[in-house]
Amino acid sequence: MQDPVTPQHTGIIGSQPKPSKDATARYIVAHEDGFPVGWLIAPATLWLVIFLVVPLGAILVFSFWTSTGFGMKPDMTVTNYADFFSKEGFFTVSSDNFLSPSVFLKTLGSTIYFTLFIMLLCLIVGYPIAYFLAMQVQTFGWQMSLFLLTMVPFWTSYLIRAVAWLPMLGRKGVINQFLMWIGAIDKPLGFLFYSEFSYTVALVQLYVVLSIGPMFFSLAKIDKAILDAARDMGATPFQIFREIIGPMSLPGVAIGMIFIFVMLMGEFASAVVVYGGKISTTGTVILNYYGTANYPFAAVNALMLMLAMMIGVIIILRIVDIRKEL
C-alpha cells in the first residue's frame, strides 16, 4: 500500500521553491553574528554608574564626614544625622524641645505639603486642558497644534519663565498698573509678588505643562467607540467619566504627578526669584549649606530629600498601575 501523497499548494504564481541547505545555514549564521547583550547594555550601564551611582555613593559617604568650615575631613560621625532629626533638649523631659523635631525635619515636611498642594492645583488646571484637547478637538492636526501651543512656555529657559512674573505681578507690574488705571485700587497691591500667592502661581505655571502631556496622551488612547456604546446604553456624561474616562486616564495622571513631584521636591530657584527667599525649602537649605562649605550637612539634607522622593513615587505607583500606559 502506497503512502498518500500530500498535494502541494502552487500559489498564485507557481509552486514555491524548496529552501536550500545553504540558505538555512546562512540564516543561522546571521543570528549567531549579532551583538552580545552585554555590549548593547554597556553604554547605558556605564552612564548610570558614572553619573548616578558614583555621585550618590559619594554623597552618602560625605554625609558621615565632618565639616571644617572651609571643606570637610573624613571623620566618620553620625552627628550630621542627629542634627537633622533632633535639636538641643530633644531627649530632656524638662525641656521645651522634648521630642520636638528639628527645623530641618519641619522644613522637609513643609516641602512635601506644599509640593502636594501644587500637584493638586496642576491637576485641576492641567486635566481640563488635556481633556479638551483629547476629547473635544476632533481632528488630529488641530490636536497636535494646540498641544504644541501649550508646550510653548516650556521651550524657554526655566529662570526666564520665573523672572517673567516680575513685570506682571510686581508693585509696578502690569496688573497693579491696570488696577490703578481703572481706579480699582489707590496703591499697588503688595501681596502679588514676593508672597506665597506669587510663589504658588509661578510654580503652577512652570510645572503644569509637565502634567498636560502624559494626561493628554492617556486620554487620546481611549477608544471613542467605547464612549459611543456607553451613550447608546443610556449612560450620563458623569457616569461615562466615572466608569470609563477617569479610570483609563489614571496612568497618565500618575505619570504627570510623578514628574511634578520629583521636580517640585528639589525646587529652590523659584523660592529665591519669586518669593524673595522668604520661604525655606529643603532645596534652599541644601543650597545655603553648600554655599557655606558645610558639605556633609548639605549631603544629609540631599539624602533625606531623595528618600522622601522615592517614598512619594512608590506611593503613587502603588495607587495607580502605570503599566497600562507603557
How far is it, in rounded angstroms, from Cα 313 to Cα 321?
A: 12
Span 137-144, mean pLDDT? Answer: 86
Q: Does residue 246 carry a pLDDT above 80?
A: yes
Q: Does residue 116 carry a pLDDT above 70?
A: yes
All three cell numbers of 87: 535639636
Q: Does residue 267 carry a pLDDT above 90?
A: no
Find the helix or strand (DSSP H, E) in which 67 lies.
strand 66-67
199 with 274: CB under 8 angstroms?
yes
Q: Does residue 48 carry a pLDDT above 70?
A: yes
pLDDT confidence tier of residue 8, bands split at 50, 70 and 90: low
Q: Give phi and psi for 66, each to the nearest 5.
A: -115, 135
Q: Does residue 95 carry a pLDDT above 90?
A: no
Count CB neighbours of 150 within 10 A. Answer: 17
Percent of the chain past pLDDT 70, that is, above it, reads 85
The dotted CATH code for 103-324 is: 1.10.3720.10
DSSP structure class, residue 135: I
Q: Does residue 13 carry a pLDDT above 50?
A: no
User: pTM for this one?
Assistant: 0.80
For 65-78, write each residue's pLDDT tens digit: 998 888 888 888 88
Give start-end residues of each CATH 1.10.3720.10 domain in the chain.
Answer: 103-324
pLDDT confidence tier of residue 98, bands split at 50, 70 and 90: low
For 201-212, write each residue's pLDDT tens digit: 989 988 998 899
pLDDT at 102: 84
